[in-house]
Amino acid sequence: MEKIKLEKPVESSEYFLAKKRFLEELGFLSAKHDEGNSQFTGRRTWGEKIAKIKAGEKLSRTEATALQVAIEIAHRSGLSGAEYDAFIKEFFVEPRRRRDDDD
């Protein structure tokens, strides 16, 4: 029986460093933001967002600050176009496609 080789894309070291930087930056934001806003209830904390990401869940793209941090880190890390797309898709839910009247 012949074994089937699965092609798995190899992620660059820049990609892994970008992921690490993103989580570190969110941790920094968590320490700053959550401490200052602990009196407000019903608001999602940065700590909760980080826990969600570490559990393999994705954030909504409406999390503007987190998305902006991810975009900046991806650009500074020098990720290729495909790596950039994969990086954003790894942490954020794909935007819904709008239905046109013609659809």
Q: pTM for this structure?
A: 0.69
> Is it the case that residue 86 has pLDDT exceeding 80?
yes
pLDDT at 102 (0 to 100): 57
Mean of the per-residue pLDDT values of the chain: 79
C-alpha distances (whole Å) from 79 to each of 3, 12, 58, 95, 101 are: 33, 8, 20, 21, 37
b (16+ CB within 10 A) / e for 26-61: beebbeebbeeeeeeeeeeebeebbeebeeeeebeb
Q: According to the model, what pLDDT value does residue 75 have?
A: 92
Q: Are 46 and 34 in contact (CB under 8 A)?
A: yes
Per-range mean pLDDT, top range of 8-17, 45-54, 72-81: 72-81
Whole-number pLDDT of residue 73: 93
Domain residue extents for the chain: 13-36+45-91
pLDDT tens for residues 26-55? 888 877 776 666 565 555 677 888 888 888
Res. 64: pLDDT tops 60: yes
Checking if the pLDDT of 76 tops 80, the result is yes
